[in-house]
């Protein structure tokens, strides 16, 4: 099967094979020598000197970690949402008692930097901004660099869901001055799901020191302390750490610029083919189309479930729409491991269906 969902992605064999490595003592020397290699390579690929921690959980667990380690009940935060993952991020903050001010955009649109700036100006008491870099549900990438400038000009903490962007799309953490950045192993990293990686700036650690939300499993201070000994606070999902270790080596060998260029090229090809097939893109402005996932509008009278099932019987798996977009769009994932042969096969099946 040619899996073209926006995560999990197919995994190269070199990486898959590492999962056959035997179990080790997670408090022993092998793990203690592997973990710093992983975090050093993550820092290289996050383009940051900030600490990067790896937790055993899916990306949504990483979003929760970012919130509960940084905020306090009653604290005012701005949640910027352009789709279902943006909604999820803000809702987690609400669950833990933050006072969330929402900046919601129509799905299919990005948020623009001046909108974020003026929302903060209207609500100067907010301490932090939650934002999705790449909204997987709508296939839209926010202009994070410009947004970050507005947020940092106003001296607020910036907490970024980069689950489906980091690794695949440019997101230089230090250059853009991003305080907390969360990503997930099954997206741009060519690793199966089950790990979430989080960077924390100095400013984020200062917020952590006074944050009052309850935190146990997702305790980043504890993870940081354990990392100094080459350990994790709780038993790590070893096969996924093996896979991440290998994937990071492959990514560093290829180089970030080359990885980003590859994603740009493949995304351009996918968008061109989608439009050539007579379909239209869900994002309302091509300038903000995601280079990791393409969201495509259903044609009139098109049954998305039936379409996906026919495409599947030709060996290709596309994702459906999430939440209120269920039944009205489908999505093509092109992130992480995206060999031309697999992308071309998927596009050929698509073309055949609509010819």
Q: Is 52 in the site for a copy of itself (CB under 8 A)?
A: no
Q: Is 95 in the site for a copy of itself (CB under 8 A)?
A: yes
Angle (CA) 278 308 10, round 5°: 105
DSSP strands (E only) in the chain: 2-4, 51-56, 76-81, 99-104, 128-132, 134-135, 140-141, 157-161, 180-184, 195-200, 293-297, 316-320, 329-333
Of 177, 234, 249, 269, the one binding a copy of itself by CB under 8 A: 234
Q: For residues 168 and 290, what is the distance between their CA atoms, to the nearest angstrom?
A: 10
Of 35, 113, 129, 240, the one binding a copy of itself by CB under 8 A: 240
The token pair at 32 is 């203690």
The strand pairing partners of 101, in sequence order, are 78
Q: For residues 196 and 174, what is the distance between their CA atoms, to the nearest angstrom?
A: 19
Compare residues 17 and 268 and give the one whose CB is closer to a copy of itself.
17
Q: Is 91 in the site for a copy of itself (CB under 8 A)?
A: yes
Q: Among 58-66, 154-162, 256-264, 271-279, which window interacts with a copy of itself (CB under 8 A)?
A: 58-66
* Residue 187 C-beta: closest distance to a copy of itself, Å: 9
Q: Is 12 in the site for a copy of itself (CB under 8 A)?
A: no
Sign of CA dihedral 96, 74, 207, 229: negative
Q: For residues 156 and 128, what is the distance between their CA atoms, to the nearest angstrom?
A: 5
* Residue 155 C-beta: closest distance to a copy of itself, Å: 28
Q: Is 170 in the site for a copy of itself (CB under 8 A)?
A: no
Q: Is 44 in the site for a copy of itself (CB under 8 A)?
A: no
Sheet holding 316-320, edge to edge: 2-4, 316-320, 329-333, 293-297
Q: Is 214 in the site for a copy of itself (CB under 8 A)?
A: yes
CA distances from 85 to 104, 141, 223 (A): 12, 12, 25
Helix ranges (DSSP H) in 19-78: 29-46, 59-68
Q: Is 134 in the site for a copy of itself (CB under 8 A)?
A: no
Q: Is 221 in the site for a copy of itself (CB under 8 A)?
A: no
* Residue 118 C-beta: closest distance to a copy of itself, Å: 30
Q: Among 112-120, 215-223, 264-272, 346-354, which window interacts with a copy of itself (CB under 8 A)?
A: 215-223
* Residue 35 C-beta: closest distance to a copy of itself, Å: 14
Residues forming contacts to a copy of itself in the complex (CB under 8 A) are 1, 3, 5, 7-11, 16-17, 19-20, 22-28, 56-61, 64, 91-92, 95-97, 184, 186, 192-194, 213-218, 233-240, 312, 317, 319-320
């Amino acid at each position: 099967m040619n899996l073209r969902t926006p995560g999990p992605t197919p995994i190269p064999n070199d990486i898959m094979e590492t999962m056959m490595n035997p179990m080790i003592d997670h408090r022993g020397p092998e793990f203690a020598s592997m973990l710093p290699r992983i975090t050093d390579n993550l820092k290289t690929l996050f383009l940051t000197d900030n600490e990067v921690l790896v937790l055993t959980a899916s990306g949504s667990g990483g979003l929760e970690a970012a919130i509960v380690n940084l905020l306090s009940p009653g604290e005012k935060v701005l949640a910027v949402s352009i789709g279902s993952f943006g909604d999820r991020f803000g809702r987690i903050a609400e669950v833990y008692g933050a006072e969330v001010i929402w900046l919601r955009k129509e799905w299919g649109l990005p948020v623009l930097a001046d909108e974020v700036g003026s929302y903060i100006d209207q609500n100067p008491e907010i301490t932090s901004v939650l934002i999705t870099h790449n909204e997987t549900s709508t296939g839209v990438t926010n202009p994070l660099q410009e947004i970050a400038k507005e947020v940092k000009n106003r001296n607020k903490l910036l907490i970024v869901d980069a689950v489906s962007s980091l690794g695949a799309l440019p997101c230089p953490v230090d250059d853009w001055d991003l305080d907390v950045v969360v990503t997930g192993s099954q997206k741009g990293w060519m690793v199966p799901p089950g790990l979430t990686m989080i960077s924390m700036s100095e400013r984020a650690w200062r917020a952590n020191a006074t944050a009052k939300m309850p935190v146990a499993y997702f305790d980043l201070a504890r993870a940081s302390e354990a990392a100094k000994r080459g350990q994790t606070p709780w038993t790590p999902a070893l096969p996924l750490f093996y896979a991440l270790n290998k994937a990071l080596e492959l990514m560093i060998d290829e180089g970030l610029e080359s990885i980003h260029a590859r994603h740009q090229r493949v995304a351009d090809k996918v968008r061109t083919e989608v439009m050539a097939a007579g379909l239209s893109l869900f994002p309302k402005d091509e300038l903000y189309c995601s280079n990791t996932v393409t969201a495509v509008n259903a044609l009139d009278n098109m049954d998305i479930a039936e379409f996906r099932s026919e495409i599947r019987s030709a060996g290709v798996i596309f994702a459906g729409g999430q939440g209120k977009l269920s039944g009205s769009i489908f999505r093509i994932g092109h992130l992480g491991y995206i060999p031309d042969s697999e992308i071309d096969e998927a596009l050929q099946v698509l073309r055949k269906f609509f010819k």
